[in-house]
Amino acid sequence: MALWGKRSDMVVHEREPFNAEPPRGALGEEELTPLDTFYVRNHGPVPALDPAAWRLTVDGLVERPLELSLDALRERFEEAEVVATLQCAGNRRAGLADVRDIPGEDPWGPGATSTARWSGVRLADVLAAAGLLPQAAHIAFAAPDVSTIPDPPQPYGGSVPVAKACSAEVLLAWAMNGRPLPPVHGAPLRVVVPGWIGARSVKWLQRVTARREPSDAYFQATAYRLLPADADPAHAGPGDGISLGPIALNCDILRPGQQHTRLPAGPTEVVGYALAGDDRTVARVDVSLDGGLTWTQADLAPRPARWTWQLWRTTVELPPGEAEITVRAWDSTGATQPESPAHLWNPKGYANNSWARLRLVCG
């Protein structure tokens, strides 16, 4: 059965709250991810908000607190559009869970990554209208959905530093791929923070608060932080670990589809994505058939827009027997991805950007 308007072959990690990613192959078809294919990451039930009664509060370190209806947002501010890829910090967690168990977190594959054309207004314009005060260093976002996993249950929220919040690319979006924002993606209004972990793109936005400090919402202060490998996440408190912000350089293989697929030996087309965080770009994608001893370069498609992933493709000659395709990307600073998930393992399973590997049986 199609849930929340999604395609029937979504990999559903949880039904309530709904969490699902598209199957690998589905992502590589198009540069913009269709609405029925775009991944969904929810920490609590989807709130039912009445768009007519809904208001956005803008408060904190501003000269003029605002309360804006959707009509007021549309009338007072210039409409803006950004094509951007969202990626969850839990993307590819399955590769970390293979190294060591990660209790309580879903084993996402490479599909917690999707790209859309977002439209709405610039957060910078709304903050300017409210008169952002110079003491403001962080912009916090609050939403009404509540996650019952932490004890006590916690409403969703997060923040980004003022410099990112006031950049031209950060939107308050009411549309996705030219369609009204679907309820499961945050209707009536969500934040879109291109280049940063998906967790900062707060859905069902109700309040924007300018602060001196980052948000103290659970999902900013305690979750989405990189704990040391020997930490016990059940006892992690606010401020422990490293706060995740800009996403890490990453790539994965989207076709041929599944691990351990049987394929004829010989020339085979391999397709995947690569994505660099924040102000970096993907410079090169390398492919290896010998576990990384020697590499050839994949053809990198032009980046569809400033804040998006890039698809890449190459043809490899698969030998008979067992084969393993290994892929890594390089970014515009000359950095590349770490080889092994074993060295990245962390108790909540975030930010797995180790080399992508696909094992096949050929012949």
Binding mask 82-121 for ligand MTE (x = CB under 6 A): ----x-x---------------------------------
Q: Which residue is nearest to ligand MTE (CB)?
A: 198
Question: How far is Cα 241 from Cα 232, in angstroms, rounded to an integer?
Answer: 11
Tell me how far, at minimum, the Cβ of 204 lies from Mo ion, in Å: 15
- Work out the burial of residue 52: count CB atoms within 10 Å of its CB; fewer than 13 is exposed, 13-18 middle, 19 or more buried: exposed
Question: How far is Cα 277 from Cα 286, in angstroms, rounded to an integer?
Answer: 18
Q: Which of residues 38-67 bind ligand MTE (CB under 6 A)?
A: 38-43
For ligand MTE, which residue of 196, 204, 330, 345 counts as binding (CB under 6 A)?
Answer: 204
For ligand MTE, which residue of 83, 199, 311, 327 counts as binding (CB under 6 A)?
Answer: 199
Tokens of 253: 């293989």
Question: How far is Cα 220 from Cα 214, in angstroms, rounded to an integer?
Answer: 8
The smaller minimum CB distance to ligand MTE, of residues 201 and 310, is found at 201
In DSSP notation, 296-342 reads EEPEEPPPSSTBS-EEEEEEEEEPSEEEEEEEEEEETTS-B--S-GG
Does the protein bind Mo ion through residue 203 (CB under 5 A)?
no
Does the protein bind Mo ion through residue 88 (CB under 5 A)?
yes
Tell me how far, at minimum, the Cβ of 127 lies from ligand MTE, in Å: 20
Interface stretch with ligand MTE, choices 95-103, 196-204, 305-313, 338-346 (CB under 6 A): 196-204
Which residues, listed in sequence order, are joined to residue 356 by a DSSP beta bridge? 327
Q: What is the three-class DSSP state of 80?
A: strand
Does the protein bind Mo ion through residue 348 (CB under 5 A)?
no
The smaller minimum CB distance to Mo ion, of residues 199 and 287, is found at 199
The smaller minimum CB distance to ligand MTE, of residues 3 and 361, is found at 3
Strands (E), 104-204: 113-122, 138-147, 154-161, 171-176, 179-180, 190-192
The smaller minimum CB distance to ligand MTE, of residues 252 and 286, is found at 252
CA-closest candidate to residue 336, choices 302, 305, 292: 292
For Mo ion, which residue of 41, 93, 164, 225 counts as binding (CB under 5 A)?
Answer: 41
Which residues, listed in sequence order, are joined to residue 35 by a DSSP beta bridge? none
CA-closest candidate to residue 165, choices 58, 282, 85, 91: 58
CA-closest candidate to residue 40, choices 15, 61, 65: 15
Tokens of 189: 């209004």
Tell me how far, at minimum, the Cβ of 224 lies from Mo ion, in Å: 7
The smaller minimum CB distance to ligand MTE, of residues 13 and 203, is found at 203
For ligand MTE, which residue of 108, 156, 174, 312 counts as binding (CB under 6 A)?
Answer: 156
Does the protein bind Mo ion through residue 198 (CB under 5 A)?
yes
Element at 347 (helix H, strand E): none
Q: Where along the sequence are the contacts to ligand MTE (CB under 6 A)? A: 38-43, 86, 88, 143, 145, 156, 185, 198-199, 201-204
